[in-house]
Amino acid sequence: MVRGRPGPFSLRGGVPVAVETLLPPTPKVNETGTQTGSSDRRADIDAKMVRVAALLQEVGCEGLLLLEPENLAWLSSGATARGSLDPSQAPAVFCNGDARWLLSANVDTQRLFDEELDGLGFQLKEWPWHWGREQLLADLCQNRRVACDVPFADTKTVGDQLRALRRTLTVYEQACHRVLGQLVSHALEATCRTIEQGATERETAGQISHRLMHRGAVPLTVGVAADGRSRLYRQFGFTSTPLRKYAVLSATARKYGLVASATRSLAFGAVDEEFRKDHNAVCRVSASYLASTWPDAVPREILLAGKRIYLISGYEHEWQLAPQGYVLGRLPVELPITPKTEELFRSGWAVYWNANAGAAAGGDTYHITDKGPELITPTENWALKRIRIQGAEFVRPDILQR
């Protein structure tokens, strides 16, 4: 087993392999967005094993089988399966609270250890790709009391417990998440600053995606709505429509097995009067949400406060037209935020607030902390709008005029 702190490259068969998912205590990003170092990541994984051991004791099982990619990413603090097209043959993890094994087809093993897992305490159980993983999984579960994150054979399903565990981001995960958030906001804002008037939504989405992938982040959804299309379609993609007057851009991306989202808006020349009114309402509603984003806050009460702002801004029913936010982390939606959501906010959760009114949208990702919401998709060289609520000042991205 390789121990210690690897450099930015590992060697397998004499071939240098970039290690993008290993992070130092305080992540530092080089010019390509790559981060290195594994000691804190190893400690983060070891701490999660303690939580797994407690879960196994609670449910009376000897081992835990993780088949969902987001749980592989959680327990490994960032490992992701790449290039696997068949979910039934994707890499998995088995652990017993003391030891952990990667379960992998031979076609994936080399890359996973070169780029993702080397030196992190994982052992290997491998199957030939043409056999499939069914027999290996059956052998692991035979004569054992096994818990699993999804219904599988005779295992005990513990998906809900695992979702609750991974919802609270560790200090290490929060550091990774901040880096991702900066990449997402940069991709949106740099595109807004450079896109030419008349470019299509598709071309604009391509620029956002290029900037994300150039820094190692994988776009999950990219949206561009030109000249009011967002008024009709609150969850939009991109088309051949050209950008003439203004546009709303959105992106959700994954890196280090984590997810962050944001939106930004731009206008060519003077801002359309109706769009300005829409955007001002969105900023006020967003500030209302932020004012209540604290540990132990009740989501439905936060939404109720936002509904009052919608009402006094002249947009009484707009909140019904699109989701206002999500708790996110390893998935884009770990927990929907609706008027029926009962769970109280917890310190360490990440939340994406995305108020909508008319053609405008204002979305960013935050960490919930004991000191209030921490923005992790910050602006850079961007127009800002300041809003005071109950004596506190909140800053929201304004429309970029070009």
Residue 3 domain-assigned (yes or no): no
- Identify the band that residue 1 occupies on the pLDDT scale cut at 50, 70 and 90: very low
Helices (H), 195-220: 201-214
- For residues 355 and 377, membership in a common domain is answered with yes
- CATH number of the domain encompassing residue 379: 3.90.230.10
- pLDDT (tens digit per residue) in 245-266: 999 999 999 999 999 999 999 9
pLDDT at res. 389: 87
Residue 4 domain-assigned (yes or no): no
- In sequence order, the 6+-apart residues with CB closer than 8 A to the CB of 54 are none
- Identify the band that residue 38 occupies on the pLDDT scale cut at 50, 70 and 90: low
- For residues 207 and 111, membership in a common domain is answered with no
pLDDT exceeds cutoff 80 at 52: yes
pLDDT at res. 390: 79
Q: Tokens 């068949």 belong to which residue? A: 86
- pLDDT (tens digit per residue) in 75-92: 999 999 888 889 999 999
- For residues 92 and 214, membership in a common domain is answered with no
E-strand stretches of 96-245: 100-105, 122-127, 146-148, 156-157, 218-226
Number of neighbouring beta carbons within 10 Å of residue 92: 24
CA-based diameter of the chain, in Å? 71
- CATH number of the domain encompassing residue 85: 3.40.350.10
- For residues 136 and 182, membership in a common domain is answered with no
pLDDT exceeds cutoff 60 at 335: yes
* Token pair belonging to 113: 């250890």
Q: How far is CA 123 from CA 94, 98, 106, 360, in A?
A: 10, 12, 14, 50
pLDDT, average across residues 386-398: 90
Name the domain boundary from 167, 193, 217: 167
pLDDT at res. 84: 82
What is the tally of structural domains in the chain?
A: 2
Number of neighbouring beta carbons within 10 Å of residue 126: 16
- For residues 216 and 141, membership in a common domain is answered with no
Domain that holds residue 111: 9-167
Number of neighbouring beta carbons within 10 Å of residue 265: 27
| pTM of structure | 0.89
Q: Give the HSE-up count for residue 21: Cα atoms under 13 Å, Cβ half-sphere.
A: 26
- For residues 182 and 87, membership in a common domain is answered with no
- pLDDT (tens digit per residue) in 64-77: 999 999 999 999 99
pLDDT, average across residues 301-308: 95
pLDDT at res. 22: 42
- For residues 302 and 208, membership in a common domain is answered with yes
Residue 301 domain-assigned (yes or no): yes
pLDDT at res. 18: 36
* Token pair belonging to 163: 């979702």
Q: Which residues of 47-66 are buried (b: 16+ CB within 10 A; e: fewer)?
A: ebbebbeebbeeeebebbbb
Residue 266 domain-assigned (yes or no): yes
- For residues 151 and 246, membership in a common domain is answered with no
pLDDT at res. 97: 87
CA separation for the pair 130, 287 (Å, rounded): 54
CA separation for the pair 126, 267 (Å, rounded): 54
Average pLDDT of the chain to the nearest whole number: 90
- For residues 203 and 109, membership in a common domain is answered with no
pLDDT, average across residues 301-305: 95
pLDDT exceeds cutoff 80 at 361: yes
- For residues 180 and 122, membership in a common domain is answered with no
Query: What single letter denotes the amino acid at residue 149?
Result: D
- For residues 148 and 204, membership in a common domain is answered with no
CA separation for the pair 31, 42 (Å, rounded): 25
pLDDT exceeds cutoff 60 at 8: no
Q: Which residues of 204-243 are buried (b: 16+ CB within 10 A; e: fewer)?
A: bbbbbbebbeebbbebeebbbbbbbbbbeebebebeebbb
The Cα angle at residue 85 between residues 70 and 142, in degrees rounded to 5: 65
pLDDT, average across residues 88-97: 94
pLDDT, average across residues 106-130: 94
- In sequence order, the 6+-apart residues with CB closer than 8 A to the CB of 115 are 10, 17, 18, 19, 20, 21
- For residues 47 and 148, membership in a common domain is answered with yes
pLDDT at res. 83: 82
pLDDT exceeds cutoff 60 at 394: yes
- pLDDT (tens digit per residue) in 188-207: 999 999 999 999 999 999 99
Sheet holding 335-336, edge to edge: 335-336, 325-328, 350-357, 360-369, 372-375
Name the domain boundary from 120, 151, 167: 167
Name the domain boundary from 167, 200, 220: 167
